[in-house]
Chains A and B, each alone.
Chain A
Amino acid sequence: MTFSPELEARFARLLESYPQGRQRSAMVPMLLYAQDEVGHVSRELIEEVARRVGVEPLRVEEVAGYYSMLRRKPLGKYHVQVCTNISCMLAGGEEVWEHACRKLGIGHKEVTADGQISLEEVECMGACSWAPAIQVNYDIHHGVTPEKLDRLLDSLRKLQ
């Protein structure tokens, strides 16, 4: 597989970050950064990462299936993750989640027909004191209300 020069540079740095013979350590970061670029963890990516860190692809499959941020199918260009865990729940996170589902007409880990927006109900994202929180790709938004979510989703639509 070919990646951007920036990602290749990151891979090179990652592979140098661990003691000699421990390059397998770079596996999880490589998968996540590669996913950011190519969209999801395909079998091809698994084989590529396996080759680069020097393990059998099955060892990468095991890891890819374990971490909840690694996804085996493409999701939307904007992946909207709504936290409904305890602090967010107390602050209305579940209502934000239901609102998002209704508004977009999709459910958990589903993608809008145009492939632009996907939804995921996620566990605690570390924004408890400023709940409810959502994450769009890596951007965290605090104190989200259904109205704020509407504005945010509309702005994402405009960005397309």
Chain B
Amino acid sequence: MLYNAPSPLEVKVLTRRFGLPDSTSIGTYLANGGYAALEKARGMTPEAIIDEVKASNLRGRGGAGFPTGMKWSFCPRHSPKPKYIVVNGDESEPGTCKDRLLIENDPHQLIEGVLIAALAVGARAGYIYIRGEYRYLIEIMDRAIAEAYEHGYLGNGFDLYTHTGAGAYECGEESALLESLEGKRGVPRIRPPFPAVVGAFQCPTVLNNVETFCAVPAIIRDGASAFADLGTPRNGGTRLFCLSGHVNRPGVYELPMGFNLLRMIEEVGGGVRGGKKLKAVIPGGSSCPVLKAEECDIPMDFDSLAKAKSMLGSGGVVVMDEDTCIVRAALRIMRFYAHESCGWCIPCREGTTWLRKLLQRFHDGQGRKGDIALIGELAGNMLGRTFCPLGDAAAMPTLAFVEKFRDEFEAHLDGKPCPREAVYA
């Protein structure tokens, strides 16, 4: 199903079949070019498949943006161990709701992407890890997998299964996801070794986000350059941006990499709701440092956002209008990370909890002078020192909120209630 109207500015590659009647069925998929890329890949050497993916400039859509082809090439093809493909469908980054649509509307595209990856590395089985809340997606995916078996795409040397999570953001981190897949607490592993070498069940594993795998059939079918040319240098293709917050037309839109953020808000999202002024945008999910309105004239690709000291992340574009209380946003995000910290390492476990309590007190009007500096220092003390990226994910946005909107924090001092609280009442 689709929950928002498409935008004429969209470039539909991964979403091309969205909205077709019975779009989840293999019949629809086959009638619309499905599994042609797999046929093509079967005529290619594994090296050629990986080279093609490398040349497409496809970068991981989960958030880190690591070049996908390179990741595949780390998998020791000639290892005597069985190899696995694992799909990260644990979509949990606040602001992100795209993988859900990809599975909901076109599950065979994902299966085809996985099958091509399996050819590239010689894998014998795959697991699609889907967050537990997305129960209905597991049903859709299981039906599609059954169809793929019936049509012989699966079962001839490659088996594919769904695996449900049960509520843990941390399992979006790839090594934590593997622990979870093995029936353990979703605590990340010590790396190296990386999953490409020691992954699922101690075997070499290719692990990518749903959207990443979904991009693969198009790359193979249309050629690497066709995909790469859609985006900007080193940032190939399109991606699904999840526009949320204070815009007139929030929704998930497939746009070329490098699409201008302001234009996205204005032309795709129909501008800020209620004619209000734009205050800030979280460009790639809650862990990405916020951009002030004046920083939003920026191409949405990995490199441009890194240059702006933020991140493209998972594609969750959260728009905040002038009435938004930044302290409240910072608090809500820290509540999330404190709730989701796995508890393994001290700086993340204690840092997120402390910051949650501090920000709550601060927002409740009990802020003290030194608190603003302390918030920054505590976040700084987590940054780069935690066991896994969750600590950074909590620290980076907090640092940016304090640095860029210090005046809003100061406005909460001296027992004053949140100056913007009235607008929510």
Contact = CB atoms under 8 A, between A and B. Distances in A.
25 contacts: A22-B201, A24-B183, A24-B184, A25-B181, A25-B182, A28-B180, A32-B132, A33-B164, A62-B184, A63-B184, A66-B185, A67-B166, A67-B186, A68-B167, A87-B318, A90-B320, A123-B94, A123-B339, A126-B96, A128-B96, A128-B242, A128-B250, A128-B316, A129-B3, A129-B97
B131 A17 contact: no
Interface residues of A, number: 44
Interface in B187-216: 201
A27 B186 CA distance: 13
Interface stretch (A99-107, A109-117, A130-138, A147-155): A130-138
Interface in B90-129: 91-97, 99-100, 125, 127
Contacts of A138: 133, 135-136
A123 B133 CA distance: 11
B93 A19 contact: no
A84 B331 CA distance: 12
B332 interface: yes
A45 interface: no
Contacts of A27: 183
A56 to B, nearest CB: 12
A24 B97 CA distance: 30
Nearest to A21: B201
Interface of A: 17-19, 22, 24-29, 31-33, 53, 55, 62-63, 66-70, 84-87, 89-92, 94-95, 123-131, 135, 138, 142
B3 A130 contact: yes
Given A69-B166, A87-B316, 8 more contacts: A17-B163, A22-B182, A63-B184, A89-B328, A129-B242, A131-B244, A131-B250, A135-B133
Contacts of B246: 90
B166 A89 contact: no
A68 B171 CA distance: 12
Contact of B332 (A86, A91, A130): A86
Nearest to A20: B201
Given A63-B183, A85-B336, A68 B168 contact: yes
A54 to B, nearest CB: 10
Contacts of B92: 123-124, 126
Contacts of B245: 86-87, 90-91
A24 B182 contact: yes
Contacts of B132: 32, 67, 69
Nearest to B142: A13
Interface string B328-339: 110011001001
A9 B278 CA distance: 53
A29 B167 contact: no
B164 A86 contact: no
B169 A123 contact: yes
Contacts of B82: 19
Given A67-B132, A87-B318, A129 B164 contact: no
Contacts of A125: 133
Contacts of B336: 85-86, 123-124
B387 interface: no
A37 B235 CA distance: 46
Contacts of A68: 166-168, 339
B324 interface: yes
Contacts of A62: 184-185
A100 B158 CA distance: 47
Nearest to B282: A86
A22 B181 CA distance: 10
Contacts of A92: 424
Contacts of A123: 92, 94, 169, 336, 339-340
Contacts of A87: 94-95, 244-245, 316, 318
